[in-house]
Amino acid sequence: MARMTQDTAADSSSEPDRVEGAPTLREAAVLAGGGEAPTARHLVSIDDISLQEMHALFRLADRFAAEPRAFAGTCPGFISASLFYEPSTRTRLSFESAMLRLGGGVLTAAEMTSSSVVKGESLADTIRVVGGGYADVIVLRHPSEGAARLAARYSPVPVINAGDGSLEHPTQTLCDLYNLHVERGKIEGLDVVLAGDLKYSRTVHSFAYALARFGANIVCVPQAGLELPDYVVERLHEDFQVEPMRADARRLGNLASNSDAVYLTPQKPHQLSLFTDARGWEVQSVDAVYMTRPQTERHSGAELSETTYLRLEKRAMAAESLRDAVVMHPLPRRDEISDEVDADPRSIYFKQAARGVPIRMAILAWLLGRVPLESAGEPSESVESYGVPVGPNPCPNPSCISRTETRHAEPRFRILDRDPLRVACAYCTRELSHAVIGCSRSRIFHAPQAGTIRLILPEHLVFFGNEEAAVEAGFRPAVGLTGH
């Protein structure tokens, strides 16, 4: 449990009001002072939280939203540190507002270029310092993919991922899901349109994974050239049995007039396998439209086609299929939603931003151990990762923290499948390609399809792009390996 600084000598009757079920300040102090502190629970990916926990967080957020000023006794004496290596308005301010409403304090490093980073301090060292005594929870935003995962390895206190490169933004996803919970009363089985920059939007990637887990259906309406990345589609298919296919989105009207829509559904694999209409699965109606701006901070704009960026206008909202659809946007927006749409009662993006406070109050109170989640179920199991023992960094992603961080971010991988062997970077989740695979103990390398690879312990696996690289590293080929 995080440290308590509140005086515990006072009578319990003088303690401030607290959330029902939370430990008293005295109980928390006793727990904090006795025995070894438990390992911190982090929120790095939307995968780190179970569906039951999400539902429990939504119920808790409902309570906070009903009376946001009534819970100042929940986290007194606790401090949240905002470490933002990238600009932010809503995420940072909503987290700080949430902590203040819970009665805690905040430390803000909103412009890390004025910190010791310019002196060469690594992210790992910064995290160890801030989590070692300055704060009880760290909210981190960083431009490198996998930065939050690295931070969690070194932090003694909970780390909350507030966005890492184009990888994920789990608390924005929880905010988006919470809005569907409020507006639609459920998430399961909904049809949600994801429109705009689907390639670089980390909010879209996290949201797509979560929607698939809930059994919602996704209609992708991308800006030309900014389609959902292959690795996201592959993961949706492999982990959540999502079936992608062409969509007939004519009923969406002007919104999809210049886009090749794709329908992603975990609900209808049997029907889709029998579906042969060349126009694609017809989109009848949708429950929500999730617009995104072009993420030009992650690309130069050269990838944008010469066509005008997707724009949601009043006439588009007149489409019959959008009659009951709410309009969402993670903000900030540019021109992708016309100002005239603001007055439409279906537009909830400003409500969506406001609801970021109660859901983040729930996240903070939970991770700090101040409020247990009712009927939350078991947390998601963590996936073990392994260091790369020798050889070059196998991660192909130039934006991965293992490539941008000069120290403390040694390459690591996790196993996706053993037969045949498939592995991914433990930080940015990109699948690693390899021409040959070596064993660091025997110093022998094998073809990827060799059955003997299954006998190599994970911590001894070494990945090489070609045989020449393996030989240069001092490895010799297995008997009978092609080319030798």
Q: Which of 42, 142, 149, 169 is catalytic?
A: 169
Active-site option among 90, 153, 250, 298: 90
Catalytic option among 18, 55, 141, 329? 141
Closest to 443 in 3D by CA, of 392, 390, 393, 481: 390
Annotated catalytic residue within 39, 113, 119, 276: 119
* Other residues' Cβ atoms within 10 Å of the Cβ of residue 273: 10
Among the options 55, 74, 91, 173, which is catalytic?
A: 91
Q: Could you count the other beta carbons within 10 Å of the beta carbon of residue 280?
A: 17
Tell me if residue 119 is catalytic: yes
* Catalytic annotation present for 90: yes
Site of tokens 């060469």: 120
Q: Note if 246 is an active site residue.
A: no
Q: Does the active-site annotation cover 296?
A: no
Between strands 137-142 and 159-164, the pairing is: parallel
Catalytic residue numbers read 90-91, 119, 141, 169
